[in-house]
Amino acid sequence: MMVAALIICLGCFASHPGLAQVATAPTAGNAQQPPEVPGVSLSDDGTRVIYGPEFFAQFNSVTAIDILKRIPGIQELLNFDNGGFVPGGSFDQPEKRGFGSEGQQILINGERVSGKTNDTGATLQRIQARQVERVEVIRGAVAGLDVRSEGLVVNVVVKGSSGSGSWEGSGTHYSGGRVRWGGRASYSAALGELKYNIGIEEAPSFLLRDRTENYNSPAGALFQRLFERNEVYTDKRILTANIGYALSHGDKLSFNGRYEDKDEHDEQPIYQFATTGQALTFLRFDDRDRDTAEKTWEVGGDYTHEVSGGGQFKGIFVYTHGTFDRAAPFRLTPAAGPLTITRLQFENRSESEKIIRGSYQWPWSEALTAELGSEVAINTLNKNVKMSVDQSGILVPTSLFNALSEITETRIEPFTSASWQATEKIFIDARFEAEYSKLNQTGPDITNRRSLFYLRPGLDLRYDVAPLNQIRASLQRNVGQLDFADFVATFENSDSRPGVVNAGNPNLVPEKIWEYALTYERRLSADGGVVSLKAFYNDISDLVDSIAVCPQLVPSAGGDIDKCRELLNTSAVGNVGKARQYGLETKASLRLSSFGLPGVVVNASGVLRDSRFTDAFTSKRADIQDYPPYAYSLGFRHDIGWRDLSYGATFDDEGLRKDLEINTSHALNRRLDGTAFVEMRVLSGIKAKLEVRRIFRSGAERVRSTFTGNRGFSPLLRVEDRVAIFDRVIAFSLRGTF
C-alpha cells in the first residue's frame, strides 16, 4: 500500500502545471538549452541531456561523484558505497559473467573502465571536479556507446590536468564507542599525451548486531532464549592506477590496475538459556569466530583504433586473481563444564579470470550502425574445505563429500548488433549473442566434464513521443552468473546453522531468463527532474535454489547409496526448474523550485513484484527467495549557496524476504531505516561532512520454522523468532584538493 501511494504521489508531481511543461523540440544533433537552466542543454531530440561547467561550478564540488549527485535521475547509479540497499526489480540483479556489453551504466570519456574489481565508482572518486568537462545523461538505447542499457547511461567527459589531487580523511563512530579511522588520496596529471591517475585508500569498518532469539515448541511454548552479539572488524587497503595515452593518429590506449588487501575478524558470542516462565537457567556459552584474509589484484587495458570511413575497432583485456583463506573455531562452554573447541573449519580458495574482447563497429549508412565482435574468457577456481570435530577432547579430521576441487571454464562469446534510426522518433537496437563454454571439475570425489551452449538475442526499442518524453521496450534473453564456489562443498555459518555443510553441485547450470520490459519516462522541462514507470516480466528456467543432495547428486557421482544415507538431510545449490517474476517499478527525481523550494531535490523509487516457483522440498508454490514483494526508497537533498551547505536524508523499507532450506524456512522483515547528512565548506577548497547511518537502529525481525529433518516430510521441531538491532554509525570526514 505504501508503494502504491508513492506511485500515485509521483504521478501528481508530474502533472503539476509548473513541472509538466514540455520544452520546444530541438533540432536533432544540435544542442538547445532549456530556459532558465544555465549550463544545461539538450541534443539528439532530447535523447542526451548535457551538463556543462556553468551548471556544476555553482556547487564547488571536490570529486566527480559530487557533480553526479546534483543531476536528477541518476542517484541510484551512485549507491555502490552508501552502506544501504537498493530496492527494485532490475537494479539488484547479480553481476553477469565476463565483460559483456551490459552492466556499468557510467562511462568515462565514452568508455567503460576495463576491469571487474576496478569499478567505475572507485574511479569517479579519484577524479577531481575540476577535471570534468561535461556530463552527458543518455536516455535509452543509442548507437555508438561502449555499453548498452535499457535505462540511463551517464558519460563523464574528463579533460587533461597539469597536476592535481584530492584527499579525504574520515573518522567513523559506531555504537558501543568504537571509532575507526580511514582515508584516501589520489593524484592526476598529464605528460604530453599521457594521462595518469593513482590512488591509495585505507578503508576500515565495523559492524555490530545485537540479537535476541526465542525458541518455541510446535505448541507455542517458550523453552529457550538466546542472546547474541555479532562484531565484525574489517580492514581494507586499496591501491589503484589508471594510465591513458592518445596516439598521434587518433588511436587511444589505456591501462588500469588495482590491488586490494582485506582482513576480517568476525566474533559471534552466544549465551543460551532455558526458560521456565520468566526464569532463565544458563545452559551454555557458544563462541564462534572467523578470521578471513583476502587478496585481489587486477590489470586491464583497452585499445581503440579509428578506421577511415567512420569505423572503430576496440580491444579489451582483463586479468583478475584473488585468494581467500578463512579459519573458524567453534568454542563451547556448558553450564557445568570447561571451555571446549568443538569444531574447527578451514576454507581456502584461489580464483582467476582472464578476458579478451574485440569488437568492430562501423556505419552502414547515416541511420544504421553495425557491430561485430567476440569475447574469450578463461575462469579457474581451486577450493578446499576442511573440518575437524571434537571427539573426547581431541580434534579429529572428518570426511566431507566434494571438499576439494579444481574447476576450469573456457568460454567463447561471439556477438553482433545493429542500431537503426528507423524514423525521426523511433530507434531500434537489435543484437544476437552466442555463448559456448567447456567446464572441467576434478577432485577426489568428483570428475565432471561438460559443455554448455546458449543463444542470447535482444531487442531494444525507443520511441521519442516528444523531446522530453520516451517510451522504451526491451526483450532480452540473459544467462545468469555461475558461482564456481557452489560446485564444491561450503560451510553454512549463519546464526542458527553453525557448521552445516552444504554439498557442492558439479551439475549446476546457470539460470536462463527471458526479460520483457516496458518503460515510460517523462523528463520535465527546465531540468525539473524525471519520472518513469516500468512494467517487467521475467520468464526463468533452471532457477538456482536449494535442493536435497540425495538422491539428486550422489548417484551421479557413482551411486554410493551408503554415502547418500549419510547426506539425507544435506542440501546443495541446484536448479529447481521454471519460475516467473513480474511487477511494476517507479522512479522519480524532482526539483522543487516550482513549489518555492529552490535547491531541493526529491529522489524516490519503488517496486511492486510477485514471483513463483516450485519448492524442491515440498513441491508447493513459493516466492523466489531473497526478493521482497515490495521495496521503496525516499530521500531529499537541499543545496544552499551559503558556504556550499548541503543536507539531506534517505529512508528505505522493504517487504518480507523469504529463505527456504532443506530443514528450515524463514521470513525476514527489515524495518524502515535511513541515512542523513550535512556538508559544508569550512575553508577554501576544504569540505566537512557529517553523516548518520541507520538513524533509528530499527534492525530486523525474523521468524524461522525448523524441522527435525527434510521439511518436505519431517515434523516441526521448533519456531524461532528473532529481533536483531544494528549499530548506528556516525561518520565525519574532511575532503579537499591540492
Tally of structural domains, the chain: 1
Residue 29 pLDDT level (bands cut at 50, 70, 90): very low
pLDDT band for position 566 (50/70/90)? Answer: low
What HEC string does 270-311 produce? Answer: EEEEEEECCEEEEEEEEEEEEEEEEEEEEEEEEEEEEECCCE
Give the confidence band of 630 by pLDDT, cuts at 50, 70, 90: very high
Q: Which of 696, 700, 616 is nearest to 660 (CA)?
A: 616
Q: Predicted confidence band at 495 (pLDDT cuts at 50, 70, 90)?
A: low
pLDDT of residue 30: 40
- Residue listed under C-alpha cell 530521500: 635
Q: Please give the biggest Cα pair distance in the chain.
A: 85
- Using one digit for the tens of pLDDT, what is the confidence trace for 580-624? 999 999 999 999 988 889 889 999 999 999 999 999 989 999 999
d(CA 270, CA 257): 42
What is the grid cell recorded at 184? Answer: 584516501
How confident is the model at residue 565, as a pLDDT? 55
For residues 219-242, average pLDDT:
93
Sequence-ordered strand ranges (E) for 308-367: 311-334, 340-363
Give the per-residue pLDDT at 315.
94
CB 615 within 8 A of CB 599: no
Among 69-78, 613-622, 636-645, 665-674, the range scoring the smallest mean pLDDT is 69-78
pLDDT in tens, 515-530: 999 999 998 888 889 9
In the numeric block, which cell numbers belong to residue 77? 547509479
Average pLDDT rounded to a whole number, residues 26-39: 49
Tell me how far apart the alpha carbons of residues 501 and 416 are, in angstroms, rounded to a whole number: 43
**pLDDT tens digits, 151-169:** 678 888 887 667 888 899 9
Give the three-state DSSP class for 233.
strand
CA 503, CA 506: separation in Å to the nearest integer? 10
Q: Is the pLDDT of residue 12 over 50?
A: no
pLDDT digits (tens, 9 = 90+) for 342-362: 889 999 999 999 999 999 999
**Integer Cα distance of 695 and 675 in angstroms:** 6
More confident residue, 175 or 11: 175
Burial class (CB in 10 A: 0-12, 13-18, 19+), 423: exposed
Distance CA 506, CA 204 (A): 37
The CATH code of the domain that includes 201 is: 2.40.170.20
Q: What is the pLDDT of residue 282?
A: 92
By the 10 Å C-beta count (0-12 exposed, 13-18 middle, 19+ buried), 278 is classed as exposed
User: What pLDDT score does 4 carry?
Assistant: 39
Structural domain range at position 684:
2-737
Q: What is the mean pLDDT of residues 3-13?
A: 41
Model confidence at 105: pLDDT above 70: yes
Report pLDDT digits (tens) over 118-132. 666 677 777 888 888
pLDDT of residue 723: 95
Gyration radius of the chain over CA positions: 27
Asked whether the predicted pLDDT for residue 76 surpasses 80, the reply is no
Q: Which 8-state DSSP code applies to residue 555?
A: G
Q: What is the pLDDT of residue 707?
A: 92
Q: Single out the residue of 425, 427, 429 nearest to residue 466, CA to CA.
A: 425
95/532: higher pLDDT: 532
| Residue 217 predicted with pLDDT over 80 | yes
Phi, psi of 563 (to 5 degrees): -65, -35
Q: What CA–CA distance (Å, rounded) separates 250 from 513?
A: 40
Q: Which one is predicted more confidently, 374 or 485? A: 374
Average pLDDT, the chain: 84
pLDDT attached to residue 85: 29
Indicate if the pLDDT at residue 654 is higher than 90. Answer: yes
Mean per-residue pLDDT for 163-182? 90
**Residue 434 or 35, more confident:** 434
C-alpha to C-alpha distance for 146 and 99, rounded to whole angstroms: 11
> Residue 507 pLDDT more than 50?
yes
| Average pLDDT, integer, range 644-663 | 92
Q: Is the dihedral of CA 557, 562, 564, 566 positive or negative?
A: negative
Q: pLDDT confidence of 713, banded at 50, 70, 90?
A: confident
Percent of the chain with pLDDT over 70: 84
Confidence of residue 100 (pLDDT cuts 50, 70, 90): low
99, pLDDT greater than 70:
no
- pLDDT level of residue 656 (50, 70, 90 thresholds): very high
Q: Check pLDDT > 90 for residue 572.
A: no
Letter for the amino acid at 168? E
Amino acid at 118: N
Confidence of residue 446 (pLDDT cuts 50, 70, 90): confident
Judging by DSSP bridges, how do beta strands 490-492 and 469-479 pair with one another?
A: unpaired
Amino acid at 426: I
Position 154 scores a pLDDT of 84
Q: Does residue 466 register a pLDDT over 60?
A: yes
pTM over 0.75: yes
Confidence of residue 102 (pLDDT cuts 50, 70, 90): low
**693-702: string of b/e by CB count within 10 Å (b at 16+)?**
bbbeeebbeb
User: What is the tens place of the pLDDT at every residue in 258-305?
Assistant: 999 999 999 989 999 999 877 899 999 988 889 999 999 999 999 999
Please tell me which residue, 377 or 45, carries the higher pLDDT value: 377
Decide if pLDDT at 467 tops 90. no
Least confident of 40-49, 277-286, 318-327: 40-49
Higher pLDDT, 341 or 90: 341
Confidence band for 561, pLDDT divided at 50, 70 and 90: low
**What is the pLDDT confidence band of residue 441, given thresholds at 50, 70 and 90?**
very high
**E strand spans, 125-278:** 132-139, 152-158, 164-174, 178-191, 194-202, 205-216, 222-246, 252-276
Asked whether the predicted pLDDT for residue 550 surpasses 80, the reply is no
Looking at residue 555, its pLDDT comes to 45
Q: What is the mean pLDDT of residues 167-192?
A: 90
